[in-house]
Structure 1
Amino acid sequence: MTFLLVGTDSRSAEPTTGEAAEPGVDAGSQRSDVLMLAKFDPQRTGASVVSIPRDSWVDIPGHGQNKINAAYAFGGPPLLIQTVEQLTGVRVDHFAVIDFAGFQSMVDAVGGIDVRVAGATSNNGVEFHQGLNHLDGAAALAYVRQRYDLPRGDIDRAQRQQNAMRALLSKAVSGGMLADPVQLYRLLDAVSRSVSVDDTLSNGGIRELGVEMRGMRPDGMTFVGAPVRGLGREGTQSVVYLDETRSAELWDAVRTDGIAVYAQRNPRDLLGESPP
């Protein structure tokens, strides 16, 4: 089962995703700030998660070359899914999207997350010190949104986003949320209120999937980033150029469940313990 996980850059004070969203809100009017392709194994005990930098310069069907996150603004989830499937050759089974407010709520729902930071930085008034940081929802949002003062900009931000996801899962596991039926229900209720999914799954389906995934462990998840050839400019836009050769190897690994072997061969693409 493969999910395309998206975080939008909506600045709305009101929810735009999940059951709490106001009717008529068009999430597709925003560009996607986070793009991850997550493939879960049949036993629901492990998964591979691949981040695609939002500024990746790709072909968007019907729109030519542009940043991949523009596909969401041009045509909502259908066009973004089509763009990702064309880029990767990986079939997307389900789509899930969360906005800034939803992400903040999710972090608060698990009591905050713990992330390791390679070096002291700050963003939006939040200071991050080297080593382990405990973050509430507002601080976690500042953490995953930081782009400037990071060595590789958008690429390092994508690693932070993966680090936050890993921390969320770790907190759910270490806190016993996945094993305790009452805590699991509360967690999945928070997910349903914050996350919008495609029509074939429904928010009720999220709860069923959550029950199936009670055996998931952080050490069973492999986080990698799509390999990058370099940074550049297209007109006035700063863009990311993917490494086509290594990307082809990565997408083949995702399709054939060979991500562990890929990670061994390409350790620089693997999420470390302490991203920048």
Structure 2
Amino acid sequence: MLDHPPVPPQSEPAGETPSRGWRRARKPLIGLLICLLLLCAAALTGILWLQAKVEGNIQRLPDTFTGLTDRPSKPTSGPAADAMNILVLGTDARSDIPTTGAEAPGWKPGQARSDTMLLVHLDGDRRSASVISIPRDSWVDIPGHGKGKVNWAYSFGGPSLTVETVEKMTDVRIDHLTVIDWDGFKALTDAVGGVDIDIPKTVYDSARGVRWEAGRHHLDGEQALLYVRQRYGLQDGDLDRVARQQAFLRTLLKQTLHQELRKNPDQVLDLLSLFSKHASVDDEWSTTQMAKLAASLRNLRTDDISYLTVPTDGTGMVGDQSVVRLDPSRDLDLWRAVREDRMAEWTDDNQDLLTPDVVR
């Protein structure tokens, strides 16, 4: 029997996609589509999580920046354009209910002063940061109220006047503001399991009847509040108190962020959720912006954060007020370094102003 010659394949009509070619391309295209859908689902899940855990809980401070005029300009080019300055306030509100955070009713005139004031500068490359304390008794110009202690601004005009006062004092533009009260401070400390603090020499706080023995102490929220608020019995009073606050914050960050954020991305969401329950923020700071900021800090190590107090010229009296006098000869250089995003260089040249690891 003769073999029939093979039938040559028929060619596809010109201009049409070959069916077998489509079948070959279909699988990777479907795989790509599935990947895109999964990525969209993951992003949507993250957004929904933020909305449920953070956005719905966090308290916004209305009109924080509204109406402020003659503000310092924000750099639009160079490294300083990407830097961020966050003003952090701790209030001394005496209240049976929270005054900051998800359940707080909001700021009320005369209700509280800013017991703690920190200007947190995040470098444009997000690889270093500076925490600059402004003593609460600093004698400054408060717009519309004349000279006074810087912590009076919060009592007189709330978050907005406090931002205006600090901007006038430093010529540094504040990007965002966050406020936390004593209850929030205690809750955050307890939530991370407490903080270990070294006290080099036994001291007695006569105002609260607390004796701090030399050595290491594991502080819960209540004890931590007593520690960071002490000034009586300390050699430099309010300035030593500021140093304690910085030492506490440094230890807190070292204990809670011992693994960099890039090693544990879920930690970002956990920290945001905890933060939202107890702190209040300006109404222009969206949850998405906070999440992006936290993610941008994934390469920031705790050893790359410097702590210092704005240079001062000691304490004194104005009438019956005990005040802290700022040192303009050194302050101007510090705030210029913040504006120009040169804090890493400035700290190298001003090691004597940095807060030591162990304080009184």
Could you state the TM-score of these two structures normalised by the residue count of structure 2? 0.71
Counterpart check, 1:272 vs 2:341: no
Counterpart in the other structure of 2:247: 163
Structure 2 SS opposite 1:191: helix
Question: Of 171, 177, 188, which residue of structure 1 is paired with 2:272?
Answer: 188
- Structure 1 letter corresponding to 2:345: V
Contact 2:124-2:341 at 8 Å conserved across structures: no
Counterpart in the other structure of 2:96: 13
Query: What is the deviation of 1:238?
Result: 0.5
- Structure 2 letter corresponding to 1:14: I
Structure 1 SS opposite 2:325: strand
Measured at CA, do residues 259 and 44 of structure 1 come closer, stay the same or move farther in structure 2, by a change above 3 Å? Answer: closer
- Structure 2 letter corresponding to 1:215: N
Unmatched runs of 5 consecutive residues or more in structure 1: none
Measured at CA, do residues 209 and 264 of structure 1 come closer, stay the same or move farther in structure 2, by a change above 3 Å? Answer: closer
Out of 9-18 and 237-246, give the one that drifted further: 9-18
Measured at CA, do residues 79 and 188 of structure 1 come closer, stay the same or move farther in structure 2, by a change above 3 Å? Answer: same
Structure 2 SS opposite 1:160: helix
Q: Give the alignment of 1:214-225 within 5 angstroms.
A: 214-225=298-309
Contact 1:178-1:184 at 8 Å conserved across structures: no
Structure 2 SS opposite 1:271: coil
Measured at CA, do residues 118 and 27 of structure 1 come closer, stay the same or move farther in structure 2, by a change above 3 Å? Answer: farther
Query: What is the deviation of 1:115?
Result: 2.3
Contact 1:226-1:242 at 8 Å conserved across structures: yes
Measured at CA, do residues 131 and 269 of structure 1 come closer, stay the same or move farther in structure 2, by a change above 3 Å? Answer: farther
Question: Of 83, 87, 90, which residue of structure 2 is paired with 1:4?
Answer: 87
Measured at CA, do residues 142 and 177 of structure 1 come closer, stay the same or move farther in structure 2, by a change above 3 Å? Answer: farther
The 1-side partners of 2:106 and 2:306 are apart by 37
Measured at CA, do residues 28 and 187 of structure 1 come closer, stay the same or move farther in structure 2, by a change above 3 Å? Answer: farther
Unmatched runs of 5 consecutive residues or more in structure 2: 1-83
Q: Give the alignment of 1:222-241 within 5 angstroms.
A: 222-241=306-325
Counterpart in the other structure of 1:103: 185
Measured at CA, do residues 114 and 175 of structure 1 come closer, stay the same or move farther in structure 2, by a change above 3 Å? Answer: farther
Counterpart in the other structure of 2:145: 63
Counterpart in the other structure of 2:79: none
Counterpart in the other structure of 2:218: 134
The 1-side partners of 2:242 and 2:157 are apart by 23
Question: Of 57, 77, 80, which residue of structure 1 is paired with 2:159?
Answer: 77
The 1-side partners of 2:246 and 2:276 are apart by 21
The 1-side partners of 2:210 and 2:326 are apart by 31
Q: Give the alignment of 1:87-126 within 5 angstroms.
A: 87-123=169-205, 124=208, 126=210
Query: What is the deviation of 1:196?
Result: 0.5
The 1-side partners of 2:157 and 2:267 are apart by 37
Counterpart in the other structure of 1:256: 340
The 2-side partners of 1:163 and 1:3 are apart by 19
Query: What is the deviation of 1:205?
Result: 4.1
Contact 1:109-1:187 at 8 Å conserved across structures: no
Q: Considering only CA atoms, is the larger Rg found in Structure 1 or Structure 2? A: 2
Contact 2:260-2:300 at 8 Å conserved across structures: no
Measured at CA, do residues 191 and 258 of structure 1 come closer, stay the same or move farther in structure 2, by a change above 3 Å? Answer: same
- Structure 1 letter corresponding to 2:219: L
Query: What is the deviation of 1:257?
Result: 2.4
Measured at CA, do residues 126 and 178 of structure 1 come closer, stay the same or move farther in structure 2, by a change above 3 Å? Answer: farther
Out of 208-217 and 100-109, give the one that drifted further: 208-217
Structure 2 SS opposite 1:62: coil
Query: What is the deviation of 1:260?
Result: 3.1
Measured at CA, do residues 224 and 27 of structure 1 come closer, stay the same or move farther in structure 2, by a change above 3 Å? Answer: farther
1:40-84 Cα distance to aligned partner (Å, 9 max, x none): 123333211110100000111111110011111111111111111
CA RMSD of aligned residues (A): 2.1
The 2-side partners of 1:236 and 1:172 are apart by 42
Query: What is the deviation of 1:9?
Result: 0.3
The 2-side partners of 1:8 and 1:122 are apart by 24
Counterpart check, 1:143 vs 2:199: no
Structure 2 SS opposite 1:95: strand
Counterpart check, 1:153 vs 2:237: yes
Measured at CA, do residues 140 and 256 of structure 1 come closer, stay the same or move farther in structure 2, by a change above 3 Å? Answer: same
Query: What is the deviation of 1:175?
Result: 6.1
- Structure 2 letter corresponding to 1:221: I
Structure 2 SS opposite 1:239: strand
Query: What is the deviation of 1:101?
Result: 0.5
